[in-house]
Amino acid sequence: MGAELRFPLRYRIGGLALALLVTLILAYLILPQFIILPLSFSDRSYLSFPPTGWSTEWYRKIAENPSWGEATANSLIIGIPAAFLSMIFGTLAALSIGRGSWRSAGLMSAVVVAPIMLPHVILAIGLYPIMIRLNFLGTHLAAITGHTVIGIPLVFITVKAVLAGQNGSLELAAMTLGANPWQTFWRVTFPMIRIGVILGGILAFASSFDELMLSLFLTGAGTRTLPKLIWEQLNEFLTPTIAAVATLIFAFTLVLLAIASGLRGLGSRYQVKSHG
């Protein structure tokens, strides 16, 4: 065995310092999210840290109170259609701007992305009178509409990123081979952007699942979403039940994240090198 080549000490100290810094930043980013875990198993009747004892009482409370289940159902009833609508419209917008030859493509991109840059309260105040007018207020449809507006930019961004990495001549090639525009989309374009569409859909769903401001304005007693119920509970009593709910949402979101990162890995297989 030959002697291993080692860097001089000062470089190794620098590397160590960098590793430490990265660890601290990661801890800063992640640790606060995990605080809710011990909080949710606390034996006190208020939110306290560090916990003094251990109980599953708060999880039992969730199971006993039907309003948590109803709110979860509402969140799904709103989030899933909103994600689907976002996938359709976001993909169409990305295709048009990414593949078309618009002179004002930059401006159009900005308009599509605007809803996630602007404060949700502006959107909420704007949608409120319209929903009253349409007599939609307090229905699932109102929240689905609102959440689709903030979901479209997310799908738009992910699909457009995938499109940008792909060659526009693939579609032209499909057409010379005999594929009409519909066949070209389903056999060539969609298989290539599918990952982006699904990823965007997951993001749109997650953002709907987490959205409070629009739900405050647009949902009623029967269509209360999970974030809105948490909000109401926080105002009345600050029990570890909130932490337990948050933990469950956290676990659910982690699953979504895992699916998303799994998809990302799949997507990279389709990168073509055109040379070599």
Partner 1 sequence: MAKHGARISLIDLAKSYGNVVALHPTNLVIEPGEFFSIIGPSGSGKTTLLGAIAGFTPPSGGRIEVDGIDIAGLPPYHRNIGMVFQNYALFPHLSVFDNVAFPLKLRKLPRAVIAERVGAMLATVRLTQLAGRRPSQLSGGQQQRVALARAAVYAPRMLLMDEPLGALDKNLREEMQSEIKLFHRKISSTVLYVTHDQDEATAMSDRIAIMNGGRVAQCGAPRDLYEHPCSAFVASFLGGANLFKVTGIENRGSGAVSCRTAQDHVFDAVDPSSGSRSHTSYVLRVPAEVIEIAPAGGEVTAKEMNRAQGTVVDAIYTAGTFRYQVEIGPAEPVSVRRPATHRATMLAPGQKVAVWWPASSTLLIPET
273 interacts with partner 1 by CB under 8 A: yes
272 interacts with partner 1 by CB under 8 A: yes
Q: How far is the CB of 49 from partner 1 (least distance, A)?
A: 50
CA distance 261 to 267: 10
CA distance 262 to 256: 10
- Residue 195 or 226: which CB sits closer to partner 1? 195
- For residues 180-239, which are near partner 1 according to CB under 8 A? 180, 183-184, 187-188, 191-192
- Please provide the DSSP assignment of 26-40 as one string: HHHHHHHHHHHHHHH
- Residue 135 or 180: which CB sits closer to partner 1? 180
274 interacts with partner 1 by CB under 8 A: yes
CA distance 58 to 240: 6
78 interacts with partner 1 by CB under 8 A: no
- Residue 192 or 226: which CB sits closer to partner 1? 192
| Size of interface with partner 1, in residues (CB under 8 A) | 27
Q: How far is the CB of 179 from partner 1 (least distance, A)?
A: 6
259 within 8 A of 198, measured Cβ to Cβ: no
Q: How far is the CB of 187 from partner 1 (least distance, A)?
A: 7
- Residue 235 or 271: which CB sits closer to partner 1? 271
266 interacts with partner 1 by CB under 8 A: no
Residue 201's nearest CA partner among 100, 275, 124, 94 is 94
167: phi > 0 → left, psi -120 to 50 → alpha, else beta; which?
beta
Q: Could you give the count of Cα atoms lying within 13 Å of 197 in the half-sphere of its Cβ?
A: 16
- For residues 141-180, which are near partner 1 according to CB under 8 A? 166-167, 169-170, 172-180
Q: Hey, CA dihedral for 145, 149, 150, 153, is it positive or negative?
A: positive
Residue from 89, 185, 250, 270 in contact with partner 1 (CB under 8 A): 270
CA distance 240 to 175: 60
> Which spans in 100-119 are helix H?
105-117
271 interacts with partner 1 by CB under 8 A: yes
Residues in touch with partner 1 (CB under 8 A): 166-167, 169-170, 172-180, 183-184, 187-188, 191-192, 269-276
